[in-house]
Structure 1
């Protein structure tokens, strides 16, 4: 990694570019970090794999830091205006987080970026302090919401003119357009279909039976895309979207309750989802009985040149 901040790694540490073959090791690292902070892991291997797909063979958008024994001590990832840094709990307080953060900023500049954002759980005070010390400021708040389903959820009737069914093969392009149109209101850039699919319908944990769509005639106007993580006793909702002109009519509630019911019938007794302050959806979820399990903050910084 010549010419990067990682030349300043402490003695006994070395760095190299990450590849898709590193998915298991990175997932173990992220799991160790999440268990240390929250007592349980939430990031699956398929999520890590989607992030490690580079836009071109020569593009090194992720870097690993190993100790002298070959153990993975930390990693950094950057894509457009987004970045991630994790340092294994056994390797903190050695400056690795600051060096990896500097690497993500340098990499983003080389890719033509003018701003970088990173999400940090509010439990991680050290990471929060580091970001603030490097000039990052709060952009949005994110909430992990949960709901218990000890009994089968009641699903209300859809609004007049709307039909609801489970996701099925052939819905992919319509769901892509619908969710990206909805997320255009607040997301930083529109994803290509290939990138969107890697993070949704092509993930090994994608659960079509617990994903639901709403139709007005033959046109998809709402969708809930869900994941079923092996070994997890909760279902997870990855995407919720309703066409703008049909919002506030109860469509999202019907879709979510259908998804919760599908997970219940599979033996799950709870569901979770993430939302953030730019979507304005928190009040909807709270009215459905969801509560906040934990909070994260997205920090952002303008990148200077030179």
Structure 2
């Protein structure tokens, strides 16, 4: 298996594949990187564990951990489906060639998986990561924005449009919500996520908050949903998914559901909520009309891959 690991910049580093049991350690690394770059920690171990346990991810082949001489995690990389990757290096080890080595490994793994293209997201403020990606031939193709909604007072919630009822998410709503969100995202996403993959990052997360996730119905059919995460210790709420069925758009359903979720978070003591959107959805202007503002941005970079080396 040695040929499946990266060529490291120093013999002092050691590497191995990750397991689901490594989720907490990986999260500590990611949190240290976020704190150094953003001044705050936004990720959680729940989401890291979900990435490691995604259907189609074989940790023995699709992950690598790099430890320093003291046995501390210095970097890691993850490839999903041969199409997208993540590379993180601990702030104490930035500038030593680990990022380049892990990116080389990710590309080699994607080629072995038969992929013709690989993508990775980088914060626009992460100058070193952006320079590395561009130096390796990656080009930007999607901009992402982290939006925030400040709540100095309890948000007002409008009434539902005619024929629409709203209630909190309940057990049994999972497959309808999956169908709704995947149908809504079909307009811009490159592939539909199967239920198992979708659920790992939404309704199966320990932080998923059904009571703060309102859903809208026209009769007995779900036509809108806001899926929210309530991270313990966070001072803000987080909206993971927003979707409205195409034939029900421009009726105020998204505004109603978002405001309902925002109000729920306010009553839980949060004074702000955040969510991500990106340029392929064309939704930025809509969110800004609803009172959300841009906090920061990131970019998805992609690169065509040549064939795997024999």
TM-score range relative to shorter protein: over 0.9
Separation (CA, whole Å) in 1 of partners of 2:241 and 2:84: 19
- 1:35 maps to 35
Separation (CA, whole Å) in 2 of partners of 1:60 and 1:201: 27
Moved more, 122-131 or 245-254: 245-254
- 2:221 maps to 219
Contact map agreement 1:23 1:48 (CA 8 A) in 2: yes
Residues 217-242 of structure 1 show CA distances to partners (whole Å, capped at 9, x for unaligned) of 00001100000000001000000001
Residues 133-156 of structure 1 show CA distances to partners (whole Å, capped at 9, x for unaligned) of 000001110000011111111111
Matches within 5 A, 1:188-203: 188-203=190-205
Residues 223-262 of structure 1 show CA distances to partners (whole Å, capped at 9, x for unaligned) of 0000000000100000000111211111101010000001
Matches within 5 A, 1:128-143: 128-143=130-145
Separation (CA, whole Å) in 1 of partners of 2:214 and 2:267: 15
Query: What SS class does the counterpart of residue 108 from structure 1 fall into?
Result: helix
Separation (CA, whole Å) in 2 of partners of 1:176 and 1:101: 32
User: Shift of the alpha carbon at 1:58?
Assistant: 7.1
Matches within 5 A, 1:256-295: 256-295=258-297
Matches within 5 A, 1:9-20: 9-20=9-20
- 1:247 maps to 249
Contact map agreement 2:214 2:226 (CA 8 A) in 1: yes
CA-atom RMSD in angstroms: 1.3
User: Shift of the alpha carbon at 1:110?
Assistant: 1.3
Contact map agreement 1:17 1:64 (CA 8 A) in 2: yes
Q: Does 1:69 align with 2:106?
A: no
The TM-score, its normalising length taken from structure 1, stands at: 0.97
Residues 169-217 of structure 1 show CA distances to partners (whole Å, capped at 9, x for unaligned) of 1100000111111112222221111111110001000001110111010
Query: What SS class does the counterpart of residue 198 from structure 2 fall into?
Result: helix
Separation (CA, whole Å) in 1 of partners of 2:30 and 2:8: 23
| Structure 1 gap segments, 5+ residues each | none
- 2:2 maps to 2
- 1:304 maps to 306
- 2:23 maps to 23
Separation (CA, whole Å) in 1 of partners of 2:126 and 2:21: 28
- 2:161 maps to 159
The TM-score, its normalising length taken from structure 2, stands at: 0.96
| Structure 2 gap segments, 5+ residues each | none
Contact map agreement 1:5 1:99 (CA 8 A) in 2: no
Separation (CA, whole Å) in 1 of partners of 2:10 and 2:160: 60
User: Shift of the alpha carbon at 1:7?
Assistant: 2.7
- 2:61 maps to 60
Moved more, 234-243 or 7-16: 7-16
Separation (CA, whole Å) in 2 of partners of 1:88 and 1:58: 20
- 1:172 maps to 174
Separation (CA, whole Å) in 1 of partners of 2:35 and 2:303: 28
User: Shift of the alpha carbon at 1:56?
Assistant: 6.3
1:231 corresponds to which of 207, 227, 233? 233
User: Shift of the alpha carbon at 1:10?
Assistant: 1.2
Moved more, 153-162 or 7-16: 7-16
